[in-house]
Amino acid sequence: MLPISTDMYSLIKIFCHILLILSLVYSCKSDFYPNITSAPTPLVYGIISPQDSLYNIRLTKTFIGAGNAYDFSLIPDSIYYRNAQVFLETRNMEGSLIERVQLTEQTIEDRLPGIFATSPNRIFQTDASKIHLRPEYFSSTVQPYDLNLHLEVIIPGNNDTVRSVTHLRTVPKLTEPRYTFMKVYFYGEQPFWMEWIDSNSESMFQILVKMHYTDFLYDEEREMIAEWVLTGIEANMTSFPGGDHKVYSYYFRPENFYSQVRSAIKTDAEVEARVCKKLDFIVLSSNREMEYYQSVFEISDDYHGTSYTNIKNGFGLFTTYSSTGIYGLTLGQIELDSLATGKYTRHLKFKNY
């Protein structure tokens, strides 16, 4: 093939640009419908702790129409289904049914103001007396606590039943710290750390830290709670009598702790002084579905709509979690001094007592 001269190549480029502009101009004359008719898609969110007394499932739907999406989101009928049925059931690992319950549609306190309709705020709910999810119940009946929790949603007019399944989790066994009356020390040969044993095959762990403190104003006191979540916790395999177990641990570095306090508590000109009262350290244990959901959500903007769901014939997340912790610990004196005068938190006006 003979090479194309520079002049000829330029003419071809100009001709292609003209064709592109003409195609765009004439395409404007064609009818274009930005809202394609389609059926709503079910959105299901249920994050259930067997330790709770109430179990909730939120069921909403996508919506589409000719108009502003923000206007549609404020109309309750745009986001809720009518006469839907939601069921929970427990099954053993062989698939045999143990219990099944239909959840009742309830209206709870209004949502916080935002994009979607604040009222009515509808969920589907049942309680611990209707379906047994707690480990102690199965211990009392000499049944192994190795169960799957199934979700089933039947929507009038939908040909496909919405389904999901997740595993019920045992509660991790906290081995460190062991005593509630101990002080929290970040400095020294043995800094504060947490350790626990888990028997679940697939796990994701986070630590929820809650700081209870008092704000002192000119003429009043306010009891406050600051909280933050720690992630990135890995497992170590350790041999015990009877087999191997996964042992998880987390060491608290002072600079990390005080920077978390700085992020969780804001300066307030009305506050004259603050006093730290106690700390709670709570291990949150969930299935891998939660990890996948959170990880994909964090990068979804980079992948333009990439998402994770374990809901069949819908979207959302259905999983279980458990928690254990140690509550009411207090900081040591050096730690209180750092809270009051250290570079991370001295602007927050904490006292060292």
How much is the pLDDT for 231?
87
pLDDT at 140: 86
The secondary structure of 327-342, three-state, reads EEEEECHHHHHHHHHC
pLDDT, residue 20, reads: 40
pLDDT for the residue 294: 78
User: Please, are residues 50 and 113 in contact by the beta-carbon 8 Å criterion?
Assistant: no
Q: Please name the residue that has the structure tokens 């707690």.
A: 134
42-168 CATH fold = Immunoglobulin-like (2.60.40)
CB-based contact 226:211 (threshold 8 Å): yes
Q: How far apart are CA 45 and CA 319, in angstroms?
A: 9
What pLDDT score was predicted for residue 71?
Answer: 67
Could you give the angle at which helices 333-341 and 254-264 cross, rounded to 10 degrees?
50
CATH number for domain 173-286+323-348, candidates 3.30.70, 3.40.50, 2.60.40, 1.10.3470: 2.60.40
Domain with CATH 2.60.40 in the chain: 42-168, 173-286+323-348
**Which H/E stretch holds residue 151?**
strand 147-154
* Average pLDDT by stretches of 10, the chain with 353 residues: 44 41 42 56 94 95 69 69 96 94 91 72 94 91 89 94 94 88 86 89 90 96 97 69 74 95 96 97 91 69 62 94 94 96 97 95
- The alpha helices in the chain, defined as continuous H runs, are 6-27, 69-73, 76-79, 135-140, 254-264, 288-299, 333-341
Residue 111 pLDDT: 72
pLDDT at 315: 92
Q: What is the pLDDT of residue 241?
A: 60
Please give the biggest Cα pair distance in the chain.
Answer: 90
CA distance from start to end of the chain: 87
